[in-house]
Amino acid sequence: MKVRDVMTASPRTCPPDTNACAAGALMLDADCGVLPVVDDHGKITAVVTDRDLLIALATRDVRPSELRVGEVAHWPVILCEPDDDVQAALETMKRHQIRRLPVEGFGGTVAGIVSMNDILLALGPKKGVRSDDVVDVLKSICAHHRPVPHVTAV
């Protein structure tokens, strides 16, 4: 199975000067947790997640209308292509511990997004993706790499 068979085509994108309010509204409207950040030519330059925005807002003394996506977006971007095999996309997600991959189209533009959700919904014996493979990737993504602080209830 190819990435093009399971990806979300034509996802929402935003330029780096988009503020956190507008980015959050785009994510809510599109029911997604990631936005590819694109330049003036539509070429993907970074990605920003709902978690990136939340952590930035929780740790900085700024209003959401003042926080720009470009200040918290991740780059370089880990990408895949529409003709990549889903197994290859899973390996990329596992290696980089990410749940979503932008799909690069012609000229570096965004053709889609493939997420763990997309792949999970496409599981099946005739689809070429085994549930064990997906669970293995999820375990890798979810593994803690920093000690989780113990919080004592007061």
Q: pTM of the entire structure?
A: 0.81
- Tell me which residue range forms the domain holding 115: 3-142
Q: Within 10 A of 149 (CB to CB), how many other CB atoms are there?
A: 5
pLDDT computed for residue 91 by the predictor: 93
Domain CATH code at residue 97: 3.10.580.10
Would 152 be classed as within a structural domain? no
Would 100 be classed as within a structural domain? yes
Count structural domains, the chain. 1
Average confidence (pLDDT) over 6-19: 96
pLDDT computed for residue 114 by the predictor: 96
Would 147 be classed as within a structural domain? no
Would 154 be classed as within a structural domain? no
CA 149 to chain centre: 26
Instruction: Answer whether residue 125 shows pLDDT above 70.
Output: no
Gap between the Cα atoms of 36 and 45, Å rounded: 8
State the Cα angle at 58 between 25 and 114, rounded to 5°.
50
pLDDT computed for residue 124 by the predictor: 65
Would 148 be classed as within a structural domain? no
Instruction: Answer whether residue 57 shows pLDDT above 80.
Output: yes
Average confidence (pLDDT) over 36-57: 96
Would 11 be classed as within a structural domain? yes
Q: Give the residue among 60, 88, 84 at the shortest CA–CA distance from 72.
A: 60
pLDDT computed for residue 130 by the predictor: 66
Instruction: Answer whether residue 73 shows pLDDT above 70.
Output: yes
Would 153 be classed as within a structural domain? no
Gap between the Cα atoms of 81 and 113, Å rounded: 10
Instruction: Answer whether residue 154 shows pLDDT above 60.
Output: no
